[in-house]
Every structure is written in C-alpha cells, then in structure tokens.
Copies of this chain bind each other. A is one copy, B any other.
Amino acid sequence: MASALPTTTARIAVLGASGYTGEEVVRLLSLHPSFTISALTGDRQAGKPFYEVFPHLMTVPQMPALKKIDDVEWKDIDAAFCCLPHATTQEVIASLPAHIKVVDLSADFRLRDVSLYAEWYGGEHKAPEIQKEVVYGLTELHRQEVANAQIVANPGCYPTSVQIPLIPLLRSGLILTEDIIIDAKSGISGAGRSAKQNLLYCEAAEGVNAYGVGRHRHMPEIEQGLSDAAGSQVRVSFTPHLMPMSRGMESACYVKLAQGVTIADLRSALEGRYKDDTFIHILPEGQAPFTHHVRGTNYCHIGIFEDRLPGRAIILSVIDNLVKGASGQAIQNMNLMFGLPEETGLLQQALYP
C-alpha cells in the first residue's frame, strides 16, 4: 500500500540507459514518488527517444531523450545511477561534479584493493583516490555507511546473493571459513544486452552450462566481503551457470558448521539478523527458495538445510539478478542516500507466473 509521500526529492540521471540495468532503473523509478528522471545517456544512441531503445517504456510519461554524457547539464541533476560497462566507469565518475550523489552499478569500485582490480579486470585502476571514499552498498549490511556516502559501489549480483546469507554466519563464527563451495545459477540477462552468439535464444534456450569455471570475476568481490566478516582471509570455490531463463539467480552455498553448531543455530542467527529487513526472507524449514518467487522484485529468499554429510549445511539463496542483484538494490541505496525509507518505490510483488 502506498502512502502519501513527499514530492520530488531528487533529479536523477541514468548513465548508460540502453542496457538492461539502465532500463530496470527506469522501470522501477517510474513508480517512485521522490525521484524524477531528468537525464538519460547512451552515447551510441544519443538523440533517440528512449522508447526507440525500449519500446515497452513508451508508456512512461515525459521521458527525456537519450543524450551523450558530455551533454548532461549537471547543475540540474542531483544524483546519478551509473550503468556503464566495467572499466569505462572510473573516469566518468571521476569527472562528475562534487554535488552529484552516485550509485555505480559497474564493478569498477567494488574492490577496495585496487591491485585486485588490476589483477581481475586486466588494467590499472584509473581513479584510486575515489576508490577510498566509495562505500560498498550491500544495503542490509552497510546501511549506515550508505546513508552517509556520496558514491556507492553497488554489489555484483552473485556477491549479493552469496554475502547476504554468509556474512552474518561468518561474523558470528557459526560456519567455518574453509571449504565454502558455491554453485550459482543465473538468468541470461546477467550477461547484458549486447548481441553475442552464445546469448541467442537458439543457443541458450533449453540448455544449461557452467562458465568462468575456477576464475569468475565475482570471486574476489565475494572473498572481500566474506574475509571482512570472518576477520581472516577466506577463499571460495565458485562456479556460475547460465540458466535458460531471462531473470533470476540462485546461489547454493555448501558450508561447514563450526564445532557444536546446528542447523537451528544458523536459522536463528539469520532470522535474528534480518528480522527487521523488508527485503530478506528466511523461508520456513524444508522450503527451498524458487527464483520465480522473486522475479521482478527486490526480495532475497533464503532456505537453510541440513546436509547428508555430517557437519555440513546447505544454504540456498535466490534473488532477481536485475533487481536486488542490480538496479533495485541501487535504488534502495539511493533512497538511503536521500534520507528516504529504503523500500520507497520497491514494493512491487513478483510477476508470477
């Protein structure tokens, strides 16, 4: 139920609005009571009406046409969602006026250690000074820092789905840091809107395959968060799969219990940690989460199971990769940055079927 909300708080620019995460920011903001879209950029499509790029959004009134980033009048803008590709983002953000609040959906500022960035993304970081000010925006776990941030690095989709359940368990020492194995499955929208052969309907429908086995770029991001939580270096086994579906992500985390810890302890720790969080749901015993149940939403559903292997637990976490895994969490963060309730504009229910 929407209640009466304040009139516009912020004028928003969406940088890189022609991709899926940009589109998703626009879709979600179309029902947001306090943010107005004032600029949309897409360098290669500059000059086009937005509905030529995303015809389904012809129904949003008063959308600005796409323009080049260089043509944005920044004095009329309060905040930006940065949906640009990895590597191109650092310089863009470095060039923005200081008054602009930024949520960056790329990977460019997620790794605190810029040498890790260089190692995994194949090039020197171009804005190491900015990196130091950036807050990593896993909202439920960094709410206060986000509220005070000027620039937020929005987490990756896989890291979001993994860290939400595992960080509290590592912090409290309920699970071991060793031998954490994550088998993850993502909808195809996670790979973006660029025309690539392996993403064609005929190539991707009705089939499943792993990719990036042993060396996916979300590994260091996951390890950064888990290591912080554990207070020691954590390494994970992480294998992502491409699923024949547009949206949705499941991370199956196979973990070892600390001495004397039970499944009930895990459940009660996670229920306690997230009991006041609108978007995190710990499912009843025996119920496995289903990506379908969070489609189009900012929710994360978590199931906790005893493993047949003694001393082990199975933790299953699902999100919509484009919402809680990207644009929804970005808006959740921006809400906090403007002092709004974090749920603002994000309470749509799942589209099912």
**Residues of A participating in the B interface, judged by any CB pair closer than 8 Å:** 1-5, 20, 23, 27, 30-33, 36, 54-60, 179, 181, 183, 185, 187-189, 193-197, 199-211, 213-215, 219, 235-239, 241, 243-248, 250, 252, 254, 281, 287-297, 299, 303, 305-309, 312, 314, 316, 318, 347-353
Contact A200:B211 (CB < 8 A) given known A205-B206, A294-B56: no
Q: Determine if B244 and A201 form an interchain contact, defined as CB atoms under 8 angstroms apart.
A: yes
Q: Can you spell out 20 A-B residue pairs with CB atoms less than 8 angstroms apart?
A: A27-B352, A31-B31, A31-B349, A56-B293, A56-B295, A57-B350, A183-B252, A193-B202, A195-B195, A206-B206, A206-B246, A206-B248, A207-B295, A210-B289, A210-B316, A213-B305, A241-B252, A243-B243, A244-B244, A351-B351
Q: Determine if A195 and B197 form an interchain contact, defined as CB atoms under 8 angstroms apart.
A: yes
Closest to A35 in B: B1
Q: Determine if B201 and A197 form an interchain contact, defined as CB atoms under 8 angstroms apart.
A: no
Closest to A196 in B: B195
Q: Determine if A347 and B31 form an interchain contact, defined as CB atoms under 8 angstroms apart.
A: yes
CB distance from A121 to the nearest CB of B (A): 17
Closest to A254 in B: B181
Q: Determine if B31 and A290 form an interchain contact, defined as CB atoms under 8 angstroms apart.
A: no
Q: Determine if A295 and B351 form an interchain contact, defined as CB atoms under 8 angstroms apart.
A: yes
Contact A349:B200 (CB < 8 A) given known A179-B309, A241-B185, A248-B208: no
Q: Which of B31, B252, B314, B350 contacts A56 (CB 8 A)?
A: B350
Q: Top 10 A-B pairs ranked by shortest CB distance?
A: A207-B292, A202-B353, A183-B183, A56-B293, A209-B290, A56-B350, A4-B4, A195-B195, A201-B204, A206-B245
Q: Determine if B195 and A200 form an interchain contact, defined as CB atoms under 8 angstroms apart.
A: yes
Q: Determine if B244 and A243 form an interchain contact, defined as CB atoms under 8 angstroms apart.
A: yes
What's the Cα separation between A289 and B55 when bound, in Å? 9
Q: Which of B23, B201, B307 contacts A205 (CB 8 A)?
A: B201
Q: Determine if B209 and A291 form an interchain contact, defined as CB atoms under 8 angstroms apart.
A: yes
Contact A235:B201 (CB < 8 A) given known A207-B245, A213-B288, A243-B243: no
Contact A295:B206 (CB < 8 A) given known A199-B200, A309-B237: yes
- A209: chain B residues at CB < 8 Å are 250, 288-292, 318
What's the Cα separation between A181 and B237 when bound, in Å? 12
Closest to A245 in B: B206
CB distance from A264 to the nearest CB of B (A): 14
Contact A306:B214 (CB < 8 A) given known A209-B288, A244-B201, A293-B56: yes
Closest to A188 in B: B201
CB distance from A108 to the nearest CB of B (A): 22
CB distance from A334 to the nearest CB of B (A): 16
